[in-house]
Amino acid sequence: MSFRRNAGLLALGLAVATPLSLLSLAVTSSTAMAQEAAEVSAVPEQPAATAVVLSQDTGPAQPGDAERGAAKAATCAACHGMDGNSADPQYPKLAGQHEAYIARMLGLFKSNQRQNPIMLGFAAPLSKQDMRDLGAYFSGKTALNGVADESVIESGPNSGKKFYQVGESLFRGGDAARGIPACAACHGPTGSGNPGPAYPHLAGQHAKYTAMQLTAFRDGLVWGTEDSANTVMSGVAARLTDEEIQSLASFIEGLHATDSGALPLAEGTSAAH
């Protein structure tokens, strides 16, 4: 565990986290936002995970071309949606995901280092340039965010809190005592990740998909082998409870940045910001 290597990253997280008015969470009632903004806490100083420098071997020299990507994306639409907003929550949204991350994942599916029989089949025929083009196409789309679960927890250690608040607190501040780093330190305060291959955009992702991945990470899932292995998330997720995983996933689905301050969305609506 190297805390020092993350110091710069955290400082960045704190700096970016300051304009709270830019942060918002879609919730099912209109009263929650003012409260939420007041409860946001700064990223703590000790993340428990080590940031891994990934080999940048996923791309060819040419950056992706979104127009070429659009032509290739037709085969992906059945599951991921033509605009990258999948209807079925077991398929991840690709809209707004970073080009380099998409290209890296397609490379890992193709080499079966991220094992998924469906995606193996779709990634196998793709060249590195195809992967970049598809990445460029989907990164230019806007993720439609969902709504976080506001129902009140009735029993257990988090009794009385709104369901998503458990995850919100971990996302923004982690839990130093249990060695859980703030998700925001790497995925950003608005869940937008980082344009490199490493840190995916999370905001608006289907809770079902996010919970599935977090559970798999907790069970030790690592994407990539040897040089390309990234063990960060298995470390991050190791101590999360089921309730925390579900709550994080719900919070992330409703998380979105707005340019007009806190904007809670009514249930059943969605908006792209």
| Least distance (Å) between residue 131 CB and ligand HEC | 8
Structure token pair of residue 123: 């990634």
List the interface residues with ligand HEC, window 146-165 (CB under 6 A).
none
Query: CA 243 → CA 38, 140, 158, distances in Å?
Result: 24, 33, 9
8-state DSSP, 227 = G
List the interface residues with ligand HEC, window 89-118 (CB under 6 A).
91-92, 94, 97, 102, 105-106, 114, 116, 118
CB-based contact 9:243 (threshold 8 Å):
no
Of 118 and 266, the one with the shorter C-beta distance to ligand HEC is: 118
| Least distance (Å) between residue 155 CB and ligand HEC | 23
| Least distance (Å) between residue 190 CB and ligand HEC | 14
Name beta bridge partners: 180: 175
Please, where are the H alpha helices in the chain? 7-17, 32-39, 66-72, 77-80, 99-110, 117-123, 128-139, 163-173, 184-187, 207-218, 232-237, 242-254
String of contacts with ligand HEC for each residue 169-208, x by CB under 6 A: -x----------x-x-xxx----------xxx-x------
| Least distance (Å) between residue 249 CB and ligand HEC | 8
Please tell me the distance from the alpha carbon of residue 167 to that of residue 174, in angstroms, as a whole number: 9
Binds ligand HEC by CB under 6 A, chosen from 17, 27, 66, 76: 76
CB-based contact 212:90 (threshold 8 Å):
yes
Q: What are phi and psi of 42, to 5 degrees?
A: -70, 155
10 part of the interface to ligand HEC, by CB under 6 A: no
Contacts of 269 (CB under 8 A, 6+ apart): 147
211 part of the interface to ligand HEC, by CB under 6 A: no
46 part of the interface to ligand HEC, by CB under 6 A: no
| Least distance (Å) between residue 81 CB and ligand HEC | 10
| Least distance (Å) between residue 264 CB and ligand HEC | 22
| Least distance (Å) between residue 231 CB and ligand HEC | 8
| Least distance (Å) between residue 204 CB and ligand HEC | 11
122 part of the interface to ligand HEC, by CB under 6 A: yes
- Count Cβ neighbours within 10 Å for each residue of 173-204 and write b for 16 or more, e otherwise: bbbeeebbbbbbbbbbbbbbbbeebbbbbbbb
215 part of the interface to ligand HEC, by CB under 6 A: no
Name beta bridge partners: 162: 152
42 part of the interface to ligand HEC, by CB under 6 A: no
Of 134 and 144, the one with the shorter C-beta distance to ligand HEC is: 134
Please tell me the distance from the alpha carbon of residue 128 to that of residue 130, in angstroms, as a whole number: 5
Binding site for ligand HEC (CB under 6 A): 47, 49, 51, 75-76, 78-80, 91-92, 94, 97, 102, 105-106, 114, 116, 118-119, 122, 134, 170, 181, 183, 185-187, 198-200, 202, 210, 213-214, 223-224, 230, 232-233, 236, 248
